[in-house]
Amino acid sequence: MIRPARRRQPAAAVATLLTTVLLLAACGAPPKVQTALEDVGKSDGSATEGAPKGFEDFYGQSLEWTDCGEGFQCATASAPLSWHDAGAGSIEIALKRIPASGQKTGSLLVNPGGPGGSGVDFVGDPARFGQSLRSSFDIVGFDPRGVGQSTPVKCFDDAGKDEFLSTDYPYTPVGLANRQDAVRAWGQACAENTGPLLEHVDTQSAARDMDMLRGVLGDDELNFLGFSYGTQLGATYAGLFPDRTGRLVLDGALDITLGSDEVALQQAEGFESALRAYVTDCQASSSCPLTGDVTSGLQQIQSMVENAEPNPIPTSTERSVTKKLAFYGVAVTMYDEGSWPFLTQALQEVFGEGTGDDLLYLADVYNDRNPDGTFKSNSEEAFRAINCADGRAEEDMAKMRELAAEIEEAAPTLGESFGYSGIECTDWPYPPAEQEFDPAAKGAPPIVVIGTTNDPATPYRWAESLANTLSSGTLVTYEGEGHTAYGRSNTCISTAVEDYLVEGKVPEEGLTC
């Protein structure tokens, strides 16, 4: 399964655009897990009301906000290692906020997706948020447990991670066995270098952290803006705490009723549709390197990716573009139509010169890799750990083979890369968390769900399903390309989002922008 989240906002330069699109390292000793709630002040307010028994100190802690440049304020909160064992110790949750510029009505928590995207990094660009939001709310980004500047998941060192992300494993019995061995080694490294946190990075635990943050921030209800995986996080919160749910906007929705195998199939179909739209657009220009009709153009992309397995594409560096990296390089540009020209440029180089520098650059942006081989974030580590903590795909090899064939038939261009998702949690050190929330979130106020009609990573049908699953879901449709809508589409979407979050004005039923 491809990482379905954290990508937005077109920008003028490729680096700015694609880094924003992704949003989402080194391994060492396991991070410290405190044995008690250390060095945290207590508040005298009502924050502890509704706190689970034994966790009152976490809800009652006082945050020390410090100036962290350019008008931002940063803080670190303590959260319990386990929400089922108050005595298990604590971890850290990193926070960054844009203080309200006007009359503050409360806080707005935001999550850019992933799982593994950094909310701390996300709020670093205030222009993502409309003026009315910035005026009315302290906009608070946080790194969920296991992510970024919070107590992180750690697995391989940079060299090992680089090899893991670039090595091809043919879809043969031997190749698949080797892939299982690599994933098994990854999981073992995560357990060794992360410590006990690895068992507690599931989405339900992160949602419980959000309720604690709500109390610590002094809000009676949680207001939340979540993108992609952030919609799963928001829906989980509403299912756990419907009576504390305030105004939630879930953009680029995940269907929380689907299993991992269904997600892989439907996401592959989404990327196929997005690629078809890209090729159609590309071939309208005389500079497009894809010849023939749209089907022929798609086949040329497929051949380029497939051929990179036996014959990696050379670059001007010592690295080459493997099949896996070629897939990443193509896929990353599907998240925003503003990045399509960069894929065209990369294809011009591959087909014209036989080299893949531009394609490799795109793959590195997807993987958050720096030119020197280090990584900007632990998004890959967190992505895998959280997904494995939340659930598992079909692990029977014969059934995986059947599903892979179905995916390839539905999405012939890149579908092969979505197959065998059951391998990705091979012998994971911990079992998945048991579901403890109501998917319908009965009793919650209106929840706005946004879907983009040709979203590759979170197909539109997922937004329809989430809006129907939530007892108070209201669907807003953006007719367009790319992943998510708010901040990268039009004033119709931004008005609907901001009017609801600021004024409580629920979008009209069936609103299409």
String of DSSP letters for 244-279: GEEEEEEES---TT--HHHHHHHHHHHHHHHHHHHH
> In this structure, what are the phi and psi dihedrals at residue 80, rounded to the nearest 5 degrees?
-70, 140
39: pLDDT strictly greater than 90: no
**Percentage of the chain lying above the pLDDT 70 cut:** 91
Contact status, residue 483 vs residue 252, Cβ threshold 8 Å: yes
45: pLDDT strictly greater than 90: no
Determine the pLDDT at residue 49.
76
Per-residue pLDDT tens digits for 385-441: 999 999 999 999 999 999 999 999 999 999 999 999 999 999 999 999 999 999 999
Mean pLDDT, residues 226-239 taken together: 98
Spatial separation of the C-alpha atoms in residues 230 and 53, rounded to whole Å: 27
Per-residue pLDDT tens digits for 68-87: 999 999 999 999 999 999 99
303: annotated active-site residue? no
From the list 296, 302, 497, 378, the residue with the least C-alpha distance to 116 is 378
Determine the pLDDT at residue 233.
98
In DSSP notation, 152-166 reads: B---S-HHHHHHHHH
Spatial separation of the C-alpha atoms in residues 64 and 359, rounded to whole Å: 44
Identify the active-site residue in 228, 273, 421, 489: 228
Identify the active-site residue in 205, 211, 255, 483: 483
Q: What is the DSSP letter of 433?
A: P
31: pLDDT strictly greater than 70: no
Determine the pLDDT at residue 390.
97
Identify the active-site residue in 455, 472, 489, 494: 455
Determine the pLDDT at residue 446.
98
From the list 314, 308, 326, the residue with the least C-alpha distance to 362 is 326
Per-residue pLDDT tens digits for 339-384: 999 999 999 999 999 999 999 999 999 999 999 999 999 999 999 9
Per-residue pLDDT tens digits for 461-472: 999 999 999 999
Spatial separation of the C-alpha atoms in residues 48 and 66, rounded to whole Å: 24
228: annotated active-site residue? yes
Q: State the chain's mean pLDDT as an integer.
A: 92
SS3 60: helix
Per-residue pLDDT tens digits for 5-29: 333 333 233 444 454 444 432 233 3
Give me the helices (H) in 411-473, please: 460-469
DSSP E strand boundaries for 13-161: 41-42, 61-62, 66-67, 73-82, 85-98, 106-111, 137-142
Residues whose CB is less than 8 angstroms from the CB of residue 195 and which lie 6 or more positions away in sequence, other chains included: 30, 31, 33
Other CB atoms within 10 Å distance of the CB of residue 286: 5
